[in-house]
Amino acid sequence: MARTIKLRRSLVKALTYRIMIMCLDFVTIYLFTGTARIAFGFMILSNIYTTVGYFVHERAWSRIQWGIGEGDG
């Protein structure tokens, strides 16, 4: 029997992942620069361009048929 994954779970998972990445970005840049303002700015900018990048990547992959279908894979 196939398992189904609820939309709410996927949304919470995506949100918590993005929060974790933003925190890691902030801490890393803060350790390199010692400046919270720069770290915060990078964290925001990075979140924007990586989200856009992921969207573009996902849309490109939605056009590729490789690995989709019935059978062995």
Say what the pTM is. 0.68
Cα 58 to chain centroid distance, Å, stands at: 11
CB 56 within 8 A of CB 46: no
Identify the pLDDT of residue 72: 56
Residue 68 binned pLDDT confidence (cut-offs 50, 70, 90): confident
Cα 61 to chain centroid distance, Å, stands at: 15
Q: How many CA atoms lie within 13 A of 67 on its CB side?
A: 4
